[in-house]
Amino acid sequence: MARETNGRFDVGGVLLAQPFKIRRLGHFGLNVRDSAACLEFYCEGLGFRVSDPLDIAERHPMRDELKKLGDTNMYFLRHGTDHHSIVLANGTVYNAAGRGGDIPADVTVNQMTWQVASLAEVAGALDWFAAKKVRISRAGRDMPGSNWHCYPYDPEGHRNEIYYGMEQIGWTGLSKPRAMHDRGFRERPPLPQIPEYEEVELARTSGVDLGSGYRRPEKMPAKYDVDGILLPRPFKVVRHGPVRLFCHDLGKMEAFYTGIMGFARTEAISWKGHRCVFLRCNTEHHSLALYPIALRRKLGLAEHTTVMSFGVQLATYRQLRAAIGFLESRGGKFVEIPAALTPGIDYSAHVLDPAGHAIQLYYYMEQVGWNGKPRKDRGRTSASVSRWPEAVKPKSDTYTGEPYLGPWG
């Protein structure tokens, strides 16, 4: 663990309450029933691209039995240069392979992954979780993706991941060749490790074809003029998150994510007598929101999952309006969630994926500054898209926060 001084840990020369600091949501994984339908929704509908498929039955002792249960691939999807920002798996296969453990049946999250800044922080997190008696799934380095990690469970069975060092996919759209997956670890790695550049150099000098990685072609024609760029959809996803979860014991979950994981509470609200909590790991109003399980039925959302919603941010307000029409034309089913339950976001809409998870489309997230206080006297916007204006006035933090790097296409 990082050096401790008077109950604080030295993290890069800064004394913190935990031996790591989460910077952002890295990726989010879902177990689904119909992988093909969900791939069509997330790729052709929302514009994510498959970076790599991974057959979890390939080397499994129950390979033949797993193959009978359905698609045994996990699909790693990206919206930017990170190797993956969404992971999809057939839940039946995933659990039969022993990857899900003994989690509750309505936990369809297979991972919520949070980025830290160094491999030393991952090592410190492992010791911290052990000291706090937090259950760990495993530690090491996953391939594909190349991220060094450990997997702690929250009190209600949602598997988190603390990671450093995600593979980046560049202008060719190719992932790392399979021959470079030999640098994966299934246990805690010794420190220090060689840098990524040296790994690439070792592969190159040993004759690995660096252009032999996976690349999934775009299936739809680029016919929409999106602010000067031709795209297959009239919008571009530029950020993912926040994650919203229903909880059986909200107090215990809040204590875990603040006291153990290090999130800051931006605010708590009361909605029809129910306390809801909004937590952040950076300047965004919230990257994780917790709601009492009683709201699941009251809101009419799917009872087979603890996911209230998962957010995807679009580049502009105009694109948000266009995305709603585009997804409606593809048969998308929208549900209404009161705006009061998503403070920090003004205009948004929720569309269901084929597995019944609500995906929140939005363009603006309130940013929290140096004093840690949310905006006062926020106005409420109509949930009805038909009453949205053609254009909106800017706020002081419109188009701020984490920027999207690289070309949209």
pLDDT at residue 102 tops 90 = no
Percent of the chain with pLDDT over 90: 92
pLDDT score recorded for residue 380: 67
pLDDT in tens, 288-343: 999 999 999 999 999 999 999 999 999 999 999 999 999 999 999 999 999 999 99
pTM (2 decimals)? 0.95
pLDDT score recorded for residue 1: 63
> Which 3-state string (H, E, C) describes the chain?
CCCEECCEEEECCEEECCCCCCCEEEEEEEEECCHHHHHHHHHHHCCCEEEEEEECCCCCCCHHHHHCCCCCEEEEEECCCECCCEEEEEHHHHHHCCCCCCCCCCCCEEEEEEECCCHHHHHHHHHHHHHCCCCEEEEEECCCCCCEEEEEECCCCCEEEEEECCCECCCCCCCCCHHHHHHCECCCCCCCCCCHHHHHHHHHHCCCCCCCCCCCCCCCCCCEEECCEEECCCCCEEEEEEEEEEECCHHHHHHHHHHHCCCEEEEEEEECCEEEEEEECCCECCCEEEEECHHHHHCCCCCCCCEEEEEEEECCHHHHHHHHHHHHHCCCCEECCCHHHCCCCCCEEEEECCCCCEEEEECCCCECCCCCCCCCCCCCCCCCHHHCCCCCCCCCCCCCCCCCCCCCC
pLDDT in tens, 227-283: 999 999 999 999 999 999 999 999 999 999 999 999 999 999 999 999 999 999 999
pLDDT score recorded for residue 382: 65
